[in-house]
């Protein structure tokens, strides 16, 4: 239900974008003000970047997975935990993928690349890639976890990810981890 409401909100944002306005001035003069849309679809190349990152994670190719990150990247989870800087992100995920997660797969991915021109609240201006996918992770202890994950990626001016916000159910992960 939450996913459906979120998707509807995203599409409502696009529908509510401002249209061009024309003003009559004098007898024959028409001036058109092109008002910037608050958000619009971004280049589909960002969806391809998202697909590649999931494929790299599935293969365990963490060096290739890290190529999209800016040096100053921040990785945040909905729980409030975070990693700051590319070295910290690399260390955490390489260790986790090598020592904790035996295998991981992503299914039914949906990608929505958007350009935020006028932030409506706390989000940054620029390109965002919104991704939803079903994740199944098998842990080295033999337990398995499956859940839908939502991830938001923000790209800097060099097309590197400088912010990730990931929405997960930490309880499902904790239940599959050794006690």
Average pLDDT for consecutive 10-residue bins of the chain (179 residues)?
46 43 43 69 97 97 98 96 98 96 98 93 90 97 97 97 96 85
Please give the pLDDT value at position 29: 42
Q: What is the 3-state secondary structure (H, E, C) of the chain?
A: CHHHHHHHHHHHHHHCCCCCEEEEECCCEEEEECCCCCEEECCCHHHHHHHHHHHHHHHCCHHHHHCCEEEEEEEEECCCCEEECHHHHHHHHHHHHHHCEEEEEEEEEEEEEEEECCCCCCCCCEEEEEEEEEEEEEECCCCEEEEEEEEEEEECCCCCEEEEEEECCHHHHHHHCCC
pTM over 0.95: no
Domains of the chain (ranges, CATH numbers): 40-176 (3.10.450.50)
């Amino acid at each position: 239900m939450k996913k459906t409401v979120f998707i509807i909100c995203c599409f409502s944002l696009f529908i509510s974008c401002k249209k061009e306005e024309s003003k009559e001035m004098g007898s024959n003069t028409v001036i058109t003000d092109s008002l910037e849309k608050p958000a619009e679809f971004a280049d589909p190349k960002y969806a391809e970047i998202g697909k590649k990152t999931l494929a790299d994670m599935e293969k365990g190719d963490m060096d290739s997975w890290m190529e999209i990150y800016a040096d100053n990247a921040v990785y945040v989870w909905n729980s409030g935990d975070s990693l700051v800087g590319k070295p910290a992100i690399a260390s955490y995920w390489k260790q986790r993928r090598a020592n904790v997660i035996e295998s991981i797969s992503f299914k039914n991915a949906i990608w929505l690349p958007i350009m935020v021109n006028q932030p409506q609240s706390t989000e940054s201006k620029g390109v965002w890639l919104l991704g939803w996918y079903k994740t199944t992770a098998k842990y080295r202890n033999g337990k398995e976890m499956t859940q839908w994950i939502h991830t938001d990626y923000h790209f800097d001016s060099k097309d590197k990810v400088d912010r990730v916000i990931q929405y997960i159910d930490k309880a499902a992960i904790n239940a599959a981890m050794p006690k």
